[in-house]
Each structure stands twice: as C-alpha cells, then as structure tokens.
Amino acid sequence: MKAVIQRVLEASVTIDGEAVSKIEKGLLILIGIIEEDTQEDINWLTKKITNLRVFNDENGVMNKSLKDVDGEAILVSQFTLQASTKKGNRPSYIKAAKPDIAIPLYEEFISKFELEFGKKVGTGKFGTDMKVSLINDGPVTIIIDSKIKE
C-alpha cells in the first residue's frame, strides 16, 4: 500500500461539480492499493500517518502530528500510485488491485484511520472521476510504502 501525504492549508474533493469533502488545516492522503495488501498494511500505515510529525511546533520545527494540531484529513483512493513506468511511455497499472479487492481494503483503511485518528475524515468516491484541489503547506509531501518499513 502506498500513500502520498500532503500537508495542506485546505483541500477538497469535487465529483460532478459537487464538493463531497472539504477540510482546512490537515492532511490530504492519496492511497494506492495492490492485491497483496492486507490488514497488517492498513494497521501499520494508519498508525504511521496519524502519528507522523509533519506540523510545526512553536519553534517552527516539524514536531507535531495530525492529532497534536487537531487537524483534519481527506483520504482518496488513487490506483495510479501503483503505476509502473519501467517499459515504454504508457504507465502500466497491472499491480493495482482490482475493485473487488481494493474497495473493501480502502473502506477498511478509512475505518481504521478514523479509529486511530479519533474523528471522521473526508473521502473521495472509489472509481469515480474526482477533482482534487489543495493548497500544499510548506510544501510538505511525503511518500510512504507499507512494503518498505525501513
């Protein structure tokens, strides 16, 4: 499972012209799922993200987590994070999990994240053409792969 985490001043997800999620200070998290992902990946990644110290403390040092700053979050499924660009110029998405596997894992990720975080989060809609808007704060963008825990 891959996650792209962006610290934002604001972010939103719009589907067919309607805003379905909107946050202020917090994290926009894009999630890419592969067929080999399991509950263990979800547990590890949700704990890692909710405790990731990417917000500034009173000294301007990134020393506070999403929980510490009482921030907000949006979780968006994005199969293109699993793209392979090894051959040719057209990305291959063969590693991305099919919907019958990815949807339950994405939904479980949302539930586990809310449990770990302690409050509701915004989401996109799986398999839908979404418009994601954000103001990246910093900019701070971090990529985490649950298969690489070193």
- The catalytic residue positions are 80
Owner of token pair 């719009």: 14
The DSSP-derived string for 6-18 is EEEEEEEEEETTE
d(CA 142, CA 136): 12
* Largest pairwise CA distance in the chain: 48
**Which tokens go with 67?**
């929980």
Tell me the C-alpha distance between 37 and 24, whole Å.
30
